[in-house]
Amino acid sequence: MNPILIHEVGPRDGLQNESRVVPTATKLDWIRRVADSGVDLVQVGSFVRSDKLPQMADTDDLFRILGGENHRAVFSGLVLNEKGLERAMEVGVGMICMGVSASDTHSRKNTGMSTEEATSRIVAMAKAAQKTGRRVQVSVQSAFGCGFEGVVPFERVRTLVEAYLEAGLHSISLADTAGHAHPAQIRRYLRCFLELDPSAEFTAHIHNTYGLGMANVYAALDAGAASIETSFGGLGGCPFTKVASGNVATEDLVHGLQRNGQRTDVDLGALLGVARDVSDFFGRELPGCVHKVGIVNPRGQA
């Protein structure tokens, strides 16, 4: 069995909805510690306009600095349009992430484009990036429901997945942007999409809006997801959805996996330290659990 890949998205998804801007030096400290903990990928930031998301204003600088260092993890970055892709290519992003919302309302609020328009542009961008030898991940946002539209028909999600696969894009993230997913839905979607292309690698990006986050993560793994996207302390939430709610906490995921003998190569103590520092910086309790209560001892007793 291949190890479950862990994609830390805290520096991007975790911080993007925070009004207090984190200094670049502080971000670098958090990113470096997470990147050296043993997780596989760290999403450093998004290439967006600084007037829209001031928290992401230093994304280019972060990549330039980190690009000159040696770390265990691959650094990823999110792009929304062609200009963002140009910036990402210029600073040498290790994995370029981009996506389309299955909800037309969310798509327009997030990118200013309809789902149909965004699909054609994102597919073209992803293929162009792949031709340069870049690692590329595409996503379906609001894949399991939308805060504005409610139910998102399965057929809309399947259409996007098929468009990606037909374009030769086989690394696909299914994002529960609004946190509406439930375990049976997660299993059904993933199993269906893996039948379309068993060689595709699917990632689950889960939000914990209604308390089903960890249950949905395990449903995704049970159905064949290769990777999970999480955030330190459970911080995060899309500022362009109706109810912005946190992610599953990276340290909670790692703690659960390690109790089952998986991903024991990851330094859980380092992740706990970052989550506590993030909590201290913002001066509030974060949604994650393990950084507050501590780990279950190695013998499996509480």
Mean pLDDT of 101-126: 86
Hey, which residues are catalytic here?
238
User: How do the domains of the chain map onto residue ranges?
Assistant: 5-293
Confidence check: pLDDT of 177 > 60:
yes
The structure tokens 């970055």 sit at 77
Mean pLDDT of 174-197: 96
Provide φ and ψ at 226, rounded to 5°.
-95, -20
Side-chain-side CA neighbours of 301 within 13 Å: the count stands at 1
More confident residue, 300 or 97: 97
Confidence check: pLDDT of 301 > 50:
no
In angstroms, the CA 290 to CA 253 distance is 9
Confidence check: pLDDT of 242 > 50:
no
- pTM higher than 0.85, yes or no? yes
| Interhelix angle 183-196/213-223, nearest 10 degrees | 30
List helix spans (H) across the chain. 24-35, 59-66, 82-90, 104-111, 115-131, 154-166, 183-196, 213-223, 250-259, 268-282, 290-293
**Of the options 3.30.479.10, 3.30.9.10, 3.30.540.10, 3.20.20.70, the CATH number for the domain spanning 5-293:** 3.20.20.70
**115 Cβ contact partners less than 8 Å away, ≥ 6 residues apart:** 100, 101, 102, 103, 104, 107, 156, 160
User: Mean pLDDT lowest for which of 1-5, 143-147, 171-175, 226-230?
Assistant: 1-5
In angstroms, the CA 247 to CA 288 distance is 9
What pLDDT is recorded for position 199?
95
Contacts made by residues 279-282, CB under 8 angstroms, sequence distance 24+? 279/233, 281/22, 281/26, 282/18, 282/20
Residue 205 pLDDT class (50, 70, 90 cuts): very high
pLDDT tens, position by position, 41-71: 999 999 999 888 899 999 999 999 999 999 9
In angstroms, the CA 61 to CA 83 distance is 16
